[in-house]
């Protein structure tokens, strides 16, 4: 998977984001039976202040969050608990933004390695770009189960 990363916040140098994102992205696509070499993703590695602005602008929530995603196409399934169609995916799957301070705080609070939490958030955001969501219980169970399987392949403990 081709991943374009813009690092706005030097704090991200504490983790090897390019390597973490690459392994998370490739493993996610492979788990879904997709060829990682055929797709790309862009990631903005920012701080809480920047992501709060984006969260306000795009979701109407004036607060920082851990990850935001902008899918290239709306692929959400109409039936709750049903995987979205992955036929005819675009080359460019979408964009993610990750906030360092929120990610680091959540990792510390959850007593997990920052690298594992970042992998989880990349997987989570990429699944949103592919049309998965967690708007209802059935969709959340589907998405969380898939995340757990992908993270296990990466050697990351079940985050749920």
Least confidently predicted of 51-65, 66-80, 85-99, 109-123: 66-80
Res 52: pLDDT: 98
Position of tokens 């990466």? 154
Among residues 86, 154, 91, which one has the least CA distance to residue 122? 154
pLDDT of residue 80: 85
* Percentage with pLDDT > 70 across the chain: 100
Average pLDDT over the chain, rounded to whole? Answer: 96
- pLDDT for 75 equals 85
Residues 150/156, Cβ–Cβ less than 8 Å: no
Every domain of the chain and the residues it spans: 2-153
What pLDDT digit, counting tens, does each position of 28-62 carry?
999 999 999 999 999 999 999 999 999 999 999 99
How far is residue 116's CA from residue 81's CA, in Å, rounded to a whole number?
A: 26
Give the mean pLDDT of 120-144. Answer: 96
Rounded average pLDDT over 65-80 = 91
If one looks up domain 2-153 in CATH, what number appears? 3.40.390.30
Does position 140 have pLDDT exceeding 90, yes or no?
yes
Residues 6+ apart with CB under 8 A from 25: 1, 3, 36, 41, 122, 126
Percent of the chain with pLDDT over 90: 93
Q: Is the per-residue pLDDT at 18 higher than 90? A: yes
Query: Which alpha helices (DSSP H) does the chain contain, by range?
Result: 17-31, 48-59, 100-109, 114-129, 137-153
């Amino acid at each position: 998977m081709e991943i374009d990363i813009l690092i706005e916040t030097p704090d991200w140098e504490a983790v090897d984001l390019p390597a973490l994102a690459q392994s998370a992205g490739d493993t996610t696509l492979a788990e879904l039976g997709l060829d990682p070499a055929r797709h790309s993703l862009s990631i903005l590695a920012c701080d809480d202040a920047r992501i709060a602005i984006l969260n306000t602008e795009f979701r109407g929530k004036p607060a920082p969050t851990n990850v935001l995603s902008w899918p290239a196409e709306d692929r959400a399934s109409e039936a709750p608990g049903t995987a979205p169609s992955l036929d005819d995916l675009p080359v460019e799957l979408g964009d993610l933004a990750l906030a360092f301070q929120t990610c680091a705080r959540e990792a510390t609070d959850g007593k997990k390695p920052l690298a594992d939490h970042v992998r989880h958030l990349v997987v989570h955001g990429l699944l949103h770009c592919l049309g998965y969501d967690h708007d209802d219980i059935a969709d959340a169970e589907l998405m969380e189960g898939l995340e757990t399987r992908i993270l296990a392949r990466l050697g990351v403990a079940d985050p749920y």
